[in-house]
């Protein structure tokens, strides 16, 4: 057996806490003085190491350890489970501020961005109403209302009643409607057509004609230079 291998085996067996060596190593130790000395030295080293480690670790426990702990426990009894401890305690105010801030932000954004009604759609009355009644409902607000105008357009906000939809009418449309009402006595049929429902089966207000394509005429391209 090789001396190097034998010494490695000796170290491995000592590190593993085994006292006995293999038969090959034992035979080698009998014949090799160098390895026998190495084995004895390493065995002593490991033994000293274990002894020193045990002496260092197994120190007598000071008698004041447990009484001191009891005093501390009496002064600070265990906190109930529901109380926040550790990192949760300083985090609580931060979380509260965040929640309140987010709530205020979302409320503010709703107030400053009401659901915008497109002007052309808003100009059309939502339900078939009488022309004069519709005029009474429509507030006299500009096309792009400011804050005060919006506030004025919500008369029922404070009374907690259901708010009527805000209808925006362009000034020129309003003038045209006024002219139409002024000429109404001259055109009673038009008023009737607007205020009466259409007969059954003919309720389509607009008729859309089919797409008609005129015959195509193909001509050769003419140069602009000629």
Partner 1 sequence: MQEFVLNPPARLLSADPAEKAGTASARSEFELRLRECAPLAYRVARSVLRNDADAEEIAQEALFRAYRKFNELRDPSRFRAWVVRISFRLALDRWRSFKRREQRETAWARLGAQPPPTAEQVALSSEFQARLERALDELPDKTRLVVILSAIQGHTLEEVAAILEIPVGTVKSKLFHARKQLAEKLR
One residue of 3, 68, 157, 194 binding partner 1 per CB under 8 A: 68
Q: For partner 1, give the closer residue by CB, 10 or 122.
A: 10
Task: By CB under 8 A, tell whether 210 contacts partner 1.
Answer: no
Nearest residue to 166 (alpha-carbon basis) of 127, 116, 109? 116
Q: For partner 1, give the closer residue by CB, 12 or 24.
A: 12
Size of the site for partner 1 (CB under 8 A): 39
One residue of 3, 37, 66, 105 binding partner 1 per CB under 8 A: 66
Residues 76-95 that bind partner 1 (CB under 8 A): 76-81, 85
Q: For partner 1, give the closer residue by CB, 62 or 215.
A: 62
Smallest separation (angstroms) from partner 1 to the CB of 8: 10
One residue of 2, 19, 33, 55 binding partner 1 per CB under 8 A: 55
- Binding stretches for partner 1 (CB under 8 A): 11-12, 14-17, 42, 45-46, 48-50, 52-59, 61-66, 68-70, 72-74, 76-81, 85
């Amino acid at each position: 057996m090789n001396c190097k291998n034998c010494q490695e085996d000796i170290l491995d067996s000592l590190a593993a806490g085994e006292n006995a060596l293999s038969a090959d190593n034992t035979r080698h130790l009998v014949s090799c003085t160098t390895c026998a000395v190495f084995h004895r030295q390493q065995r002593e080293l490991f033994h000293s190491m274990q002894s020193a480690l045990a002496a260092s670790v197994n120190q007598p426990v000071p008698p004041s350890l447990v009484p001191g702990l009891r005093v501390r426990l009496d002064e600070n009894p265990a906190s109930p489970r529901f109380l926040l401890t550790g990192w949760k305690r300083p985090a609580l105010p931060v979380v509260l501020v965040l929640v309140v801030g987010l709530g205020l932000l979302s409320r503010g954004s709703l107030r400053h961005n009401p659901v915008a009604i497109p002007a052309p759609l808003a100009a059309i009355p939502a339900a078939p109403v009488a022309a004069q009644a519709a005029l009474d409902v429509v507030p006299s607000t500009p096309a792009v209302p400011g804050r005060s105008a919006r506030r004025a357009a919500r008369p029922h906000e404070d009374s907690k009643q259901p708010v009527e939809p805000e209808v925006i009418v362009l000034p020129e449309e309003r003038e045209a409607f006024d002219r139409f009402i002024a000429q109404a006595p001259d055109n009673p049929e038009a008023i009737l057509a607007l205020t009466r429902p259409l007969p059954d089966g003919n309720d389509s207000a607009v008729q859309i004609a089919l797409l008609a394509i005129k015959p195509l005429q193909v001509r050769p391209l003419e140069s602009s230079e000629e």
